[in-house]
């Protein structure tokens, strides 16, 4: 296969929220850059996840990019929690407004990045066999881009239609009259179940562990309301920038103990009806951090859920037993619990009767066989490092990044990794992309990466590497911040766990995200920029 002889300054891989933002900043700063995307078009997560009910659960106006005042002025978010088709339109609007498609090549899946120390260049090879040479590679591969299926026998034997939610078909799927089975009740499963329960003949939900969930309280945004939001953008961002997770809900600092129980309940009633993550992050911080407060809030939420479910035996199954409120990624829902009041919806508890195998006609648990026409796998992703591990990334001495990270993920600020010169990650492991509102985290990463490349260019440097000591110090900080979190011992993708993707002989717990919060992360990045990246080896 022919290969280009041209040497790029930068190759970006991935045209999702991160890649679009990164290529714009590279173009603005005069870098000769190209972007490769494996999918047929841009959008990443919002290109792929086309399942019914897919939408933000960050407020839309906190999810959009901040880098362009024009975009902020021109874009009208139609709902407080915008749905996938609209989010994809938004990303296309941004790309087209700045004419970014001309830098992008689609259906161009990266297979390997190989570092040549003598030339200080990377070779990026695509699955087509084409190879390209570049000074820098920037990975924008996404935190949730590798869907995982259960390790169950017979998945391929099923004669009906089946797919992972990430690969929901582009053409509309006719659910009418179908007996549908869905496996998984995480953030995705909860969105799908609520949306399709009244559109199918029967819906059989295969649940292993139940999740806490609370109302999204979505609503449309009129033109007048959008004008008001535009006028308040600065204030909204100021709130987001002060909060740990980057959401526009200020915690209540009156002190949990200083408020009477009756007033706490009245406050929680109010938060339960507010949009978004209010009950989780607009609450007393003690409810996340201290056992007594967390227990009381958990009991409160249990009461709210039970009140919405007719059959308390079903409610028993929907109340999580292995974690308390807020200790895993909290899904937000619209009429999710009410779905179980419908005659056509059945909840199967896989802890009582695990899946034995998928058959030609359905799913067989140890208790019975369920005949199905369609199976939906809402079974999650190989989180955060999954996309990077699927590319053969060879740094100094031909060492593979996947091998380096086999037992422990280590990075410098979640952007660089020692032994992999001129390789940068936006939305990478150990940044705040996996632990806070995604796009503001992305913009922090893009800003840092772009400034580092400009600094290298301005100072005549052609080789960038994180020293081992700097990486060790950052990894230590990442471990410290995760271990102090109350959820540190709960298995979920927050703690890097997915049994469907876990490598043999590795720990159940990984340090894949930085849990020190968006403000602390941002100020760390800003300090390193102010110090001219003095902790990075530049040559």
Using CB under 6 A as the binding rule, whether residue 375 contacts ligand NA7 is answered as no
Of 356 and 472, CB closest to ligand NA7: 356
The one segment of 186-194, 224-232, 360-368, 529-537 that binds ligand NA7 by CB under 6 A: 186-194
Q: For 163-168, which contacts have Cβ atoms below 8 Å and span 24 or more sequence positions? A: 163/376, 163/377, 164/377, 164/378, 164/379, 165/49, 165/51, 165/54, 165/189, 165/192, 165/376, 165/377, 165/378, 166/48, 166/49, 166/381, 167/48, 168/49, 168/50, 168/51
Residue 528 CB, nearest distance to ligand NA7 (Å)? 28
236 φ, ψ (degrees, to nearest 5): -60, -45
Query: Is the Cβ–Cβ distance between 384 and 371 less than 8 Å?
Result: no
Element (H, E) at 453: helix 438-458
Please identify the residue of the shown chain whose CB is closest to the bound ligand NA7.
Answer: 186
534 burial type by CB count under 10 A (0-12 exposed, 13-18 middle, 19+ buried): exposed
In this structure, the strands spanning 161-164 and 179-183 are unpaired
Using CB under 6 A as the binding rule, whether residue 402 contacts ligand NA7 is answered as no
Using CB under 6 A as the binding rule, whether residue 16 contacts ligand NA7 is answered as no
SS3 assignment, position 272: helix
Give the residue, chosen from 380, 428, 496, 516, that forms a contact with ligand NA7 under the rule CB under 6 A.
Answer: 380
Residue 471 CB, nearest distance to ligand NA7 (Å)? 27
269 φ, ψ (degrees, to nearest 5): -60, -40
Contacts of 313 (CB under 8 A, 6+ apart): none
Query: Total residues at the site for ligand NA7 (CB under 6 A)?
Result: 19
Using CB under 6 A as the binding rule, whether residue 144 contacts ligand NA7 is answered as yes
Of 280 and 536, CB closest to ligand NA7: 280
Write the interaction track for ligand NA7 spanning residues 321-340; mark x where CB under 6 A is met and - where it is not.
Answer: --------x-----------
Residue 350 CB, nearest distance to ligand NA7 (Å)? 5
Using CB under 6 A as the binding rule, whether residue 208 contacts ligand NA7 is answered as yes
Give the residue, chosen from 378, 388, 425, 478, that forms a contact with ligand NA7 under the rule CB under 6 A.
Answer: 378
Using CB under 6 A as the binding rule, whether residue 216 contacts ligand NA7 is answered as no
Query: Is the Cβ–Cβ distance between 290 and 201 less than 8 Å?
Result: no
- DSSP-derived letter for residue 503 is P
Of 113 and 337, CB closest to ligand NA7: 337
Using CB under 6 A as the binding rule, whether residue 350 contacts ligand NA7 is answered as yes
Residue 274 CB, nearest distance to ligand NA7 (Å)? 20
Q: Can you tell me the distance from the alpha carbon of 319 to that of 333, in angstroms, rounded to the nearest whole number?
A: 15
Using CB under 6 A as the binding rule, whether residue 386 contacts ligand NA7 is answered as no
Query: Is the Cβ–Cβ distance between 277 and 243 less than 8 Å?
Result: no
The one segment of 253-261, 274-282, 375-383, 396-404 that binds ligand NA7 by CB under 6 A: 375-383
Query: Is the Cβ–Cβ distance between 245 and 434 less than 8 Å?
Result: no
Q: Which residue has the tokens 């549908």?
A: 180
Of 77 and 493, CB closest to ligand NA7: 493
Using CB under 6 A as the binding rule, whether residue 379 contacts ligand NA7 is answered as yes
Which of positions 474-493 make contact with ligand NA7 (CB under 6 A)?
A: 493
Q: Can you tell me the distance from the alpha carbon of 252 to that of 284, in angstroms, rounded to the nearest whole number?
A: 5
Residue 208 CB, nearest distance to ligand NA7 (Å)? 3
Of 358 and 464, CB closest to ligand NA7: 358
- Strands (E) across 128-240 are located at 131-139, 161-164, 179-183, 202-207, 214-215
Using CB under 6 A as the binding rule, whether residue 384 contacts ligand NA7 is answered as no
Using CB under 6 A as the binding rule, whether residue 209 contacts ligand NA7 is answered as yes
Using CB under 6 A as the binding rule, whether residue 105 contacts ligand NA7 is answered as no
Give the residue, chosen from 62, 188, 243, 437, that forms a contact with ligand NA7 under the rule CB under 6 A.
Answer: 188
Give the residue, chosen from 181, 186, 362, 439, that forms a contact with ligand NA7 under the rule CB under 6 A.
Answer: 186
Q: DSSP 3-state helix, strand, coil percentages of the chain (rounded to 5)?
A: 35, 15, 45
3-class SS letters over 333-365: ECCHHHHCCCCCEEEEECCCCCEEEECCCEEEE
Q: Can you tell me the distance from the alpha carbon of 55 to that of 233, in angstroms, rounded to the nearest whole number?
A: 21
Using CB under 6 A as the binding rule, whether residue 502 contacts ligand NA7 is answered as no
Q: Nearest to residue 134, comparing CAs of 13, 52, 271?
A: 13
Give the residue, chosen from 19, 83, 150, 419, that forms a contact with ligand NA7 under the rule CB under 6 A.
Answer: 150
Using CB under 6 A as the binding rule, whether residue 38 contacts ligand NA7 is answered as no
Of 500 and 524, CB closest to ligand NA7: 500
The one segment of 153-161, 187-195, 252-260, 272-280 that binds ligand NA7 by CB under 6 A: 187-195
Of 379 and 410, CB closest to ligand NA7: 379
CA 312 from chain centre, in angstroms, equals 33
Residues at the contact surface with ligand NA7, assessed by CB under 6 A: 144, 150, 183-189, 208-209, 329, 350, 378-381, 493, 500
């Amino acid at each position: 296969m022919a290969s280009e002889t041209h040497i790029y300054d930068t190759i970006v891989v991935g045209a999702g929220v991160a890649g679009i933002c990164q290529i714009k900043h590279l173009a603005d700063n005069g870098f000769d850059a190209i972007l490769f995307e494996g999918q047929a078009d841009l959008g990443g997560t919002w290109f792929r996840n086309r399942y019914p009910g897919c939408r933000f659960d960050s407020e839309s106006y906190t999810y959009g990019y901040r880098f362009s005042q024009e975009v902020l002025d021109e874009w009208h978010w139609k709902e407080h929690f915008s749905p996938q088709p609209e989010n994809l339109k938004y990303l296309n609007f941004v790309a087209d407004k700045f004419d970014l498609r001309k830098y992008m090549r689609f259906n161009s899946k990266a297979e390997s990045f190989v570092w040549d120390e003598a030339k200080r260049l990377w070779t990026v090879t695509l699955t087509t066999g084409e190879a390209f040479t570049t000074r820098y590679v920037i990975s924008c591969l996404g935190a949730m881009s590798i869907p995982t299926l259960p390790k169950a026998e017979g998945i391929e034997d099923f004669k009906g239609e089946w797919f992972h939610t990430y690969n929901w078909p582009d053409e509309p799927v006719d659910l009418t009259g179908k007996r549908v089975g869905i496996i998984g009740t995480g953030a995705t499963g909860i969105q799908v179940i609520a949306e399709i329960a009244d559109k199918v003949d029967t819906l059989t939900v295969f649940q292993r562990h139940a999740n806490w969930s609370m109302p999204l309280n979505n609503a449309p945004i009129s033109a007048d309301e959008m004008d008001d939001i535009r006028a308040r953008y600065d204030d909204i961002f100021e709130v987001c920038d002060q909060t740990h997770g980057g959401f526009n809900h200020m915690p209540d600092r009156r002190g949990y103990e200083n408020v009477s129980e009756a007033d706490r309940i009245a406050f929680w009633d109010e938060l339960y009806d507010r949009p978004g993550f209010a009950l989780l992050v607009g609450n007393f911080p003690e409810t996340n951090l201290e056992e007594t407060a967390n227990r009381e809030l958990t009991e409160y939420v249990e009461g709210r859920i039970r009140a919405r479910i007719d059959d308390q035996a079903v409610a028993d199954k929907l109340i999580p037993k292995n974690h308390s409120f807020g200790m895993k990624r909290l899904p937000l829902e619209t009429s999710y619990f009410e779905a179980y009041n419908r005659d056509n919806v059945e909840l199967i508890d896989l802890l009582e009767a695990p899946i034995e195998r998928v058959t030609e006609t359905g799913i067989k648990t140890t208790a019975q066989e369920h005949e199905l026409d369609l199976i939906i796998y809402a079974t999650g992703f190989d989180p955060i490092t999954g996309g990077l591990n699927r590319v053969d990334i060879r740094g100094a001495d031909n060492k593979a990044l996947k091998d380096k990270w086999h037992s422990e993920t280590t990075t410098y600020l979640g952007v660089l990794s020692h032994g992999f010169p001129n390789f940068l990650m936006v939305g990478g492991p150990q940044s705040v992309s996996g632990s806070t509102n995604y796009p503001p985290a992305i913009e922090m990463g893009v800003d840092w990466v772009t400034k580092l490349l400009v600094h290298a260019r301005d100072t005549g440097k052609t080789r960038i590497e994180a020293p081992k000591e700097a990486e060790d110090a950052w990894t230590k900080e990442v471990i410290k911040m995760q271990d102090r979190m109350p959820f540190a011992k709960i298995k979920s993708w927050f703690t890097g766990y997915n049994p469907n993707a876990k490598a043999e002989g590795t720990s159940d717990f990984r340090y894949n995200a930085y849990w020190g919060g968006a403000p602390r992360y941002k100020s760390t990045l800003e300090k390193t920029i102010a110090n001219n990246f003095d902790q990075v080896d530049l040559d």
